[in-house]
Structure 1
């Protein structure tokens, strides 16, 4: 009869010792030998007629080892399930004092395992205090968005020469040195830029230029910080490298364009907001304002979720079986790790572990589940996203696409987890105490920049 003893060897770490007697593994071993003899192919013997002695001699030891280990695993799993042990990962084998398994020496065998137990902890959501930011939507923000929409829905014309800051120039960038000589193997790239993206002196230089004209610029002097970062990234250079910003480029104009902004009339209002029957500029601006407020409302909500996340991770006290987890980090992944690598990964790993335990506890306490129909709806929304947000109603191919996505086990699991977490955050948002604070869009952007998990 197999026996299992359990002793505590460190914080939240227990040692389970499994002792197998001959009766626990020998009948299964004999059974397997017989089964094997029926199916094995050995030259000189008819299939199913191989004497068990021959099978035992040739394959016995590996079958024996397999059966002993299978018996150990079965005993271990049944013990853990009966005792309802809530453990991390899998039990890790310790150096066993079991003699090398030998089918000719039927002994009691002893195997030892180490298990890491999950901690007990409390989560008090009512203690969480957050700030809900209400972003002031200014006239200037509405004007900017209206202007952007007019440009986006405008008509492109092809003037001969650059005469205004609103002109667009299509240019070929070619890297040169300070003397204007082309750099061998240097960066080359085509791009399209508004004249107003350049600094004042370059804008002045571009006036009157036409197709095939050439100017030479130095990136650090031709663009202000924001535009320069965008151009550097487009050229495959680093925005954090001063040497990259100091590079020179020859710009050849390949085309001059001008977008004539769409007029503020009913046709334009209907293009931007189809089916809303907007007649006046005032109503159009009100719709734009509502859209900006909606966008910032969502951002503000996400930021509250971020505050909740940080509070839960930083203020939930939890102990971990550290040595067990470090050992598991070394051996549990696809690639074995060194003790140093496991040590370095450990803080980040326990933060993620903590978050998983906290969310699991809250999801269970609040009985948050996700319906298959919600996963299907999410898949549909994703497909619409790929198609540029168009609504295809109940197009038959839409269902076919969706069902294909739902056959992907990984997609379903990830979506389930994502929707469950979103529901949890929405619920927590109603349970924490929030004070509202008015804030400008710039100050809010700063907060997002500094505080993101």
Structure 2
């Protein structure tokens, strides 16, 4: 076998592979012999099928299969052994491959186009300071959050007269059609779905009142019409003309009252006992949420600092062609061009992180993955405490999750943990500048950032 790398530019190369008969024939003969032992062909005893017949029946397919496997391993091993910074996947020269005479050739030549990232170094000293935001959360945010919670945990009460926001129950009937054709049903009208210009008709109604309306003007979109009638969207879309609605009941969501029942619904049973304790706990949760949001923005700023200060050349034309080829039929050339900048950004960022992980020997062990997954299970299922039976249940759920989706869940968790470790190392190497900002200022900052 002969293998050679030819670089046309810093980021484009060709990997040329020449195979002689000695490279593939021993394995081909071995597989054909195995076929001969297992073949069941009418007129021949098992294991006694002539070699010439096995060759005629399976020779070409075995040859193609073996050479493809040999090429795949050869390319992969060459890239690994020579530590090539390949981006995308090697693209075989299709014209050359299609011209092969599998019946007459003994020697074969193959050519793979490679896209390479340019060499680069990560110099932490050259990175500028990155802001670390502390978000001010005080009485305004606390009061706003409590009002939202009161609405979220609201209760329903029956009222005598409808108002905006109420749910109105009753009988809906279609007008102007014979009884056998007219649509009629018992339903509930969420007044939030009613068009603004028609809403006054449904305000001030009492039990027994009947209102007449045009269904398409009152429920403008098909989704709202489907909710109001209980029909499928395509069926509701066909309804038109005048309808009547006779009110049978009206319910209203009343904000939850401050008290132990509300405290228990929001925070869990008996976590707090007084309003003061409740406010302290909610403020603690708010600050924790903002801290996580701040950490997310800090990560985006760190990633942007890496991209702005580390220059990496990519084989743009090659990558665009690779995206088209690997997603054949699913994306157009226009779509690739439109999305390429974001794709290239993510490729560069991953190259930088991979290099940092390699140079700093950042590794992720199975126990790391399992521990993080245990924490995720605790949070999602609300497991509290630390008794042995609970820990066994958590372990079982976590291990099952990691085995699901053919190992994809495990790789997702692995990559997430690896990424977190890289970011933590970067944070230890560069300067973080604390900045205190208001909630509104923070929201404005977030709106200007582009995630990787």
| Separation of aligned partners in 1, 2:132 and 2:200 | 42
Following superposition, the deviation at residue 410 of structure 1 comes to 1.0
Which moved further from structure 2: 95-104 or 345-354? 95-104
Matches of residues 1-400 of structure 1 in structure 2 within 5 Å? 2-73=1-72, 75-94=74-93, 95-96=95-96, 100-103=100-103, 106=106, 108-126=107-125, 127-150=127-150, 156-161=156-161, 169-171=166-168, 190=188, 206=203, 209-211=205-207, 213=209, 235=224, 254-257=249-252, 259=254, 261-264=256-259, 269=263, 272-273=266-267, 278=272, 281-333=275-327, 335=329, 342-384=336-378, 386-387=380-381, 389=382, 391=384, 394-395=389-390, 397-400=393-396
Q: Pairwise CA RMSD of aligned residues?
A: 4.7
| Separation of aligned partners in 1, 2:299 and 2:213 | 45
| Separation of aligned partners in 1, 2:188 and 2:100 | 70
| Separation of aligned partners in 1, 2:213 and 2:450 | 37
CA contact (8 A) 1:171 1:251 kept: no
Instruction: Tell me the residue number matched to 2:233.
Output: none
CA contact (8 A) 2:133 2:434 kept: yes
TM-score (norm. length: structure 2):
0.73
Following superposition, the deviation at residue 262 of structure 1 comes to 2.4
| Separation of aligned partners in 2, 1:27 and 1:277 | 73
Are 1:414 and 2:408 counterparts?
no
TM-score (norm. length: structure 1):
0.73
Change (3 A) 1:345 1:274: closer
Instruction: Tell me the residue number matched to 2:237.
Output: none
Residue segments in structure 1 that go unaligned for 5+ positions in a row: 223-230, 238-247
Task: Say which SS state the counterpart of residue 19 (structure 1) adopts.
Answer: strand
1:107-143 per-residue CA deviation (whole Å, 9 max, x = no partner) reads: x432222222232222344523333333333423323
Following superposition, the deviation at residue 318 of structure 1 comes to 0.8
Residue segments in structure 2 that go unaligned for 5+ positions in a row: 227-241
Task: Say which SS state the counterpart of residue 292 (structure 1) adopts.
Answer: helix
| Separation of aligned partners in 2, 1:294 and 1:58 | 69
Aligned length: 420
Change (3 A) 1:73 1:407: closer
Instruction: Tell me the residue number matched to 1:240.
Output: none
Following superposition, the deviation at residue 351 of structure 1 comes to 1.8
CA contact (8 A) 1:98 1:111 kept: no
CA contact (8 A) 1:173 1:249 kept: no
| Separation of aligned partners in 1, 2:202 and 2:105 | 94
Task: Say which SS state the counterpart of residue 320 (structure 1) adopts.
Answer: coil
Following superposition, the deviation at residue 416 of structure 1 comes to 1.5
Q: Where in structure 1 do 4 or more consecutive aligned residues deviate above 6 Å?
A: 172-175, 201-205, 214-218, 231-234, 248-253
Are 1:401 and 2:397 counterparts?
yes
| Separation of aligned partners in 2, 1:62 and 1:261 | 72
| Separation of aligned partners in 1, 2:155 and 2:97 | 82
CA contact (8 A) 1:161 1:256 kept: no
